[in-house]
Structure 1
């Protein structure tokens, strides 16, 4: 770290990948602001672990990121508390799957507002602060390997992640004159909860991954910390996929909503955990 304390804002930091990223950044010396949508107790528990384990400050903010005014508000609250912002991690999101034949318009709009507009508006607010304060900061979006490979019922979520993979290329050009970098981290299958006896998501999945294991939130945290560091100072506009090679050999990842019909039709079920914001 530099002689000036660095500040990171992590959206969707109450559990899973977001919590792993927040803890890892604290381990590397960042003071943290993290947001939650509904899981206040879990968010406070993550904050307490950051304070106790790493001696870093951690601000907890409620944020429903699909609402238009919220992304700018959480950036303002973070800067009001810490005086600056060096790193924004856009992580808050939600998976809703369904055929194009059945997806209702309200769910379509919700996913667009949460998984794309929320990312864009938070990045806009954060980079305006960085520009005005002359901070050569970073924005890192958590997307998905599903943005690179098609699965049935995944037109919206996967499509939005693919869209963000493209969007950052133009955003990187907009921000480069100010020394601000923007990149994506695209997780594949990631263990975001403890296994349960009836949990079909983890059953037999690791052997289908070339590197032989499921990813962890800590893996994602290490990638984010590295991309935000000076060691990656020449990297911008890039999507870094962390999936252990899952999609390289054409092996299907499995998502939520699977039933006997989908298994019979496609040869695999659709069973992916819906991670809370």
Structure 2
């Protein structure tokens, strides 16, 4: 039995990924910084921008029956802000979680898989803003572009030990957060060539494909799931 860690799994895309993996017969350690959002047989609340917590999270996953087979680095923070006014404190929180937290989670999981001598697969949640410019998301988009490059670069280190790594870049997606915006569905249906934003299952299907043996010869790639938005990239009105 395979064991996967999914961060940011309390709601939205991460939650759907965890549910789909469990439905496919895998054990999933669901992580979120907010413990009240977590429900399931194996959960561990905590902040994955902390290296110490990352070590605890991976150690916990290794106590479960089965083999640690990978993780989904889905936890992240989105900060909107004008380039001219963006603050050092916002930048620090962004880099701590999106970059540092992702990097060291991959490192810790990959080390555990390598020691066990098993193959593995890791998926990073990126964003279309790492591929195309978007108003007020210069800092956030920068972190997502960095993750895309990290995924490509780690092919060098992870391939010799049979660990694959890929990224999925969602576009506009209907989640608990975006549903709070009364105009989100209408606006992104207008902007998306396929006529509507993604739902969380659209993203989880792509992630679970990368984790599965169906993609056993794919590594270092970033798959954009955005209904065609990056082909034309129209910005929203607000």
Common fold, TM-score beyond 0.5? yes
Counting only pairs closer than 5 Å after superposition, residues 90-169 of structure 1 correspond to structure 2 as 90-169=73-152
Equivalent residue, structure 2, for 1:13: 9
Q: Is the aligned partner of 1:26 residue 2:22?
A: yes
Normalised to the residue count of structure 1, the TM-score between the two structures is 0.82
Q: How many residues align?
A: 237
- RMSD of aligned Cα (Å): 1.4
- Uncovered stretches (5+) of structure 1, i.e. residues with no partner: 48-57, 255-267, 270-277
Which range moved further: 212-221 or 117-126?
A: 212-221
1:92-141 deviation digits (Å, cap 9, x = unpaired): 11111112221111110110010011000000000001111111101100
Separation in structure 1 between the aligned mates of residue 224 and residue 153 of structure 2, nearest angstrom: 19
1:171-211 deviation digits (Å, cap 9, x = unpaired): 11110001100000110000002845x61222332132111
Kept in 2, the 8 Å contact 1:28–1:225? The answer is no
The verdict on how the C-alpha distance between 1:148 and 1:156 changes in structure 2, with shifts beyond 3 A counting, is: same
Which range moved further: 102-111 or 137-146?
A: 102-111
Normalised to the residue count of structure 2, the TM-score between the two structures is 0.95
- Uncovered stretches (5+) of structure 2, i.e. residues with no partner: none
Match of 2:169, SS?
strand
- TM-superposed CA distance for 1:83, in Å, is 5.3
Runs of 4+, deviation exceeding 3 Å = none
Larger gyration radius, structure 1 or structure 2: 1
Q: Pick the structure with more strand per residue.
A: 2
Kept in 2, the 8 Å contact 1:33–1:60? The answer is yes
